[in-house]
Chain A
C-alpha cells in the first residue's frame, strides 16, 4: 500500500459486496442455462441440467442472505436521493455522457450508484419472491404461479443490464474505482474526482483514514 492512500471501504462492506456479486453472477449464468436451450451446456458442466437447477436454487439462499446484508448496510447511504443536489448531478449525467465544466459534487454515492443500488434491492427482492414461489409452485394458485416466470425474467433483464454498466464503471470506465472493492484503499485524486463531497465530509468529521498517517480524528480532537 502506498503512503497517502485513503480507506474507502471496510472488510465487511467488501465481503457483503462480493457475496452478493458472486452469488448473483452464479444465478445469472445458471439462470441463462435454463432460459435458453442454446445455454443448456452450462448444465452439462455441472453434471446435467438437474444439478444446475439445484445449484441455482441453493445459490439463491446465499443471495438472499447477501441481499439482506447489503440492503441493511447501504439503505441509508445509497437508497435515498438527496434533493436538489442529486437532481443537479442527474441533469449533468454526472459528466459521463457529455462535457460538463463542473460536475455537481456528490458524496459517498452518486445518483447513478443510488439507482443501481435501488435496482439491485428492488429487482433482487422481486427475484427472491418470484423465485421462491417458482421453487414450490404446487402450493400456490396457478394464475399466480404463471406470472412469476415473466416477472422473474423482467427482474433478470434489469439486473443483467445494470450488471454490465456496473462492471464497466467499476473497472475501465472509471480507473481507480476497482481497488475500493479489492484492497479498500483508493487515491486522494480518485476521491476528489468521484466523491469530492464525501472526502470533505470525512475530513470535517475526522473519519478520514490515510495509509501511513495517524487517524485525523486525533488532530481534530473528536
Chain B
C-alpha cells in the first residue's frame, strides 16, 4: 500500500459476530489458542490477551422500552495519533509507522508494562513466559506488502474496511447519516484521531470497555512532557550553579590552625 495514513473502519452495525476476524488474526500472526473458561458468554476469551489481539465483545443492553439489544464490538488497538503507549515506551519498541498506525518491535520490548498503564483503551497485554507485551500492529507485515490486514480480509459482511484516512472518515459519517438515531462515529475526535474508527449503532457508553472520552492520561503528560525535561534542567542548573559558586564565591576552606585559635569558626 502507498505510504499514506490508513484508517480501518469497523462498522459495528454490519457485524454478525462470526469471529472470523479473531481467527484470521491468530492465523496470520501465528498466535496459539489457550485453554479458556465458559463464563456464560460467546465472548471468548473473556478479554484481550497477549495471544488474542482482537476480540469480539458481546454486549446485552436493555433500551428504554426494556427491549434487549445485543451489541457486537470488535475490540483491539485503536492506533492513536497521539499514542500514550509510544510516549511512555522506554525502549522504542512501540513506534509510529509510516501509515500512522502503532507498530511494535517485539525484540526491543523489555516487558516493563509502562504501556499497559498508559493506554486509555487498556489494549497491550503481557506474557509472563516471554516477559514481553503484545498487541495488534494492524498487520504491518501485510499492509507493507499491499495486502489488507487479516481481519479485514476475512470479514464476510463488509463490517471491516481499510483505506485512506479521509475517505474512510467520510465513509463512516455517510453511514451514520444513513443510520440515523443514536448512531455515531467513534475515534476520529480523540487522541488526535485514531487509525481505527467505529460506526456505533448506540451511544459509546452502551458498549462495554469503551471509554467515553479516551485521552492520554494526565499522569503521562506530567511525566513525559514536564518532569522529564525538568530533570535535565535541574541537574544542569545544579552543575552550573556549583561551577559558578566555585569561581565566584570559592570553596569553604579551613583556616590555618593558628588563625583559628583567635577567630573561632569563621
- Could you tell me which A residues sit within 8 Å of B by CB distance? 34-37, 40, 43, 48-50, 52-53, 95-98, 100-103, 105, 134, 137-138, 142, 145-147, 149-150, 153-154, 156-157, 160-162, 164-165, 168, 172-176, 187-190, 192-194, 196
Query: How many residues of B are in contact with the other chain, CB < 8 A?
Result: 46
Complex alpha-carbon distance, A193 and B256, angstroms: 10
B219-246 vs A: 1/0 string, CB under 8 Å? 1101100111011001101110010011
Interface pair A40/B91, CB less than 8 Å apart: yes
Most A CB contacts (10 A, CB to CB) among B92, B111, B246, B249 go to: B249
Interface pair B230/A157, CB less than 8 Å apart: yes
- Could you tell me which B residues sit within 8 Å of A by CB distance? 88, 90-92, 108, 110-114, 116-118, 122, 126, 131, 217, 219-220, 222-223, 226-228, 230-231, 234-235, 237-239, 242, 245-246, 249, 251-257, 260, 264-266
Complex alpha-carbon distance, A214 and B30, angstroms: 79
State whether A161 and B90 are in contact (beta carbons under 8 Å apart), knowing that A96-B245, A147-B219 are contacts in the complex.
Answer: no
Q: Find A176's partner among B114, B239, B246, B254 (CB 8 Å cutoff).
A: B254
Interface pair A150/B223, CB less than 8 Å apart: yes
Interface pair B90/A35, CB less than 8 Å apart: yes
State whether A168 and B91 are in contact (beta carbons under 8 Å apart), knowing that A138-B126, A157-B227 are contacts in the complex.
Answer: no
Residues from chain A with a CB closer than 8 A to the CB of B90 are 34-35, 37, 40, 49
Complex alpha-carbon distance, A193 and B235, angstroms: 28
Q: Find B265's partner among A105, A175, A176 (CB 8 Å cutoff).
A: A105
Q: A48-B110, A52-B110, A102-B264 are in contact. List 20 more A-B contacts (CB 8 A).
A: A34-B91, A36-B228, A40-B91, A40-B92, A50-B131, A97-B249, A137-B116, A137-B117, A145-B117, A147-B219, A149-B219, A150-B223, A153-B223, A157-B230, A157-B234, A160-B235, A161-B238, A173-B251, A192-B255, A193-B254
Chain B interface mostly: helix
Q: Across the two chains, which residue of chain A brings its CB closest to B237?
A: A161
Interface pair A175/B253, CB less than 8 Å apart: yes
- A sample of 7 cross-chain residue pairs with beta-carbon separation below 8 angstroms, ordered by A number, consists of A149-B220, A157-B231, A161-B235, A168-B242, A168-B245, A192-B264, A193-B260
Residues from chain B with a CB closer than 8 A to the CB of A165 are 238, 242
Complex alpha-carbon distance, A52 and B108, angstroms: 12
